[in-house]
Structure 1
């Protein structure tokens, strides 16, 4: 049975897409079949981390929601995008990463925002994708904040991973999302503190966050020069496997598995 993991943050700019992509890479390196769905339809971007040309796409999530294609037709095999620092493909046999991207065309973004879509179609699409691609894990990259799509993603998740930065606004927003997740009875809730300056005491910060929310902190991830240099051009977990960020990704995967 496929395990569904949603990554979410109350505010934008937390590094949610970057985390989702690196988790997908990490799972594939452990030999799993992984699907990633970019449901941040208003501002999609996770495709860049897998080096996907958005102008060469035949179908996107938008097309599926408009009834133009089946959900599996939108899925791209991006396993070849999981490469090390010298461009070698490193995913072992059996490991796979599939990406369902959202459209970056302004007209299509405007249309879906204006016309909306049936959230139940999204729910059906998630389950069909898991079945048709025989996925071990489905990762849902959600839109920040709380809306109907976000609530659906949270409600069907086996694991909800909430990202926050060491910032008072993130702390307050995370409390709101946690309350919703508990009401929806999500089986596993995990916190990830991201973009933390290396001068911080990571252990003390982790303990403080846990004390505030009484929710496990799966990892505290650093903001470092290497991460800034890579930006959205690659996957840190694959390029720098010994980096503290990559070690944090592995800690999160241990908590999930």
Structure 2
């Protein structure tokens, strides 16, 4: 059975979408079939990382949530060449960037419970090994229901006091929801910081495994979310950290 990996952060601006795209791609490069689902319906954007500057609103997650089509019908094959060469595949289910669609979602909301059924059908139709869910930051009803669907929750935070406080609340809620596996990734850490010390401090604070400490780097800033970082900089130290986190995820599979 495929793993559903939810990537979430308490605040925006943590690099959640970039982390999701890089982890999904790293696992796909190991020969796995991976789907990325953008449930950040209020402010979608991960499609840009996969080269989809324009998304047809009729081929998005919104259409599934409104009952217009099955989820697999709006899954786009965005596999980079290096992924195809390794026998893997990446599919993307984007959310609509159309202003009218976003306004409708904000006004009407949506039934997150449909995602559980949709994920099951998507896994079967595309023979998936993993689904990565890129969420809207913060805590609301939709987020809590999404967390409840996940096998693995990856919490992204920055070394920032506001992030620390909000993340504590989020981890506590995830534990109460009995998420089978909770992992943590710290992003945008100063390059002169000691990664092991950062890891130890946060593991002690949250009692959750910290599986990645991602250094802040100029190359990521220069890329400006125009591509998947690990594909552009395959030998970069940051790419190596993404690879280690991806390998950890593959060894963190939850018994079905």
- Which bin holds the TM-score, normalised by the shorter protein? over 0.9
- Greater shift, 239-248 or 107-116, is seen at 239-248
2:253 corresponds to: none
Rounded to whole Å, the distance in 2 between the matches of 1:106 and 1:198 is: 39
Q: 2:110 aligns with which of 93, 109, 117?
A: 117
Does 2:218 match 1:221? Answer: no
Instruction: Name the count of aligned residue pairs.
Output: 249
2:157 corresponds to: 164
Q: 2:187 aligns with which of 184, 190, 194?
A: 194
1:144 CA drift (Å): 0.5
1:240 CA drift (Å): 1.2
How far does the alpha carbon of each residue in 1:228-248 deviate from its partner, in whole angstroms, 9 at most, with x for none? Answer: 111211111112122121111
Q: Which runs of 5 or more structure 2 residues have no equivalent in the other structure? A: 251-256
Residues 174-253 of structure 1: pairs in structure 2 closer than 5 A = 174-253=167-246
Q: How high is the TM-score relative to the length of structure 2? A: 0.94
Rounded to whole Å, the distance in 2 between the matches of 1:94 and 1:146 is: 37
**Would the alpha carbon gap of residues 93 and 250 (structure 1) be closer, same or farther in structure 2, given more than 3 Å must change?**
closer
Q: Secondary structure, in 3 states, of the residue corresponding to 2:59?
A: coil
C-alpha contact 1:123 1:152 (8 A) present in aligned 2? no
Q: 2:82 aligns with which of 72, 76, 90?
A: 90
Q: How high is the TM-score relative to the length of structure 1? A: 0.94
C-alpha contact 1:194 1:223 (8 A) present in aligned 2? yes
Q: 1:107 aligns with which of 95, 100, 109?
A: 100
1:139 corresponds to: 132
Q: Which runs of 5 or more structure 1 residues have no equivalent in the other structure? A: 83-88
Q: Secondary structure, in 3 states, of the residue corresponding to 2:159?
A: coil
Does 2:36 match 1:43? Answer: no
Rounded to whole Å, the distance in 1 between the matches of 2:133 and 2:199 is: 25
1:123 CA drift (Å): 2.1
C-alpha contact 1:54 1:103 (8 A) present in aligned 2? no
Q: Secondary structure, in 3 states, of the residue corresponding to 1:189?
A: strand
Rounded to whole Å, the distance in 1 between the matches of 2:236 and 2:97 is: 31
Residues 63-82 of structure 1: pairs in structure 2 closer than 5 A = 63-79=63-79, 82=80
1:58 CA drift (Å): 4.0
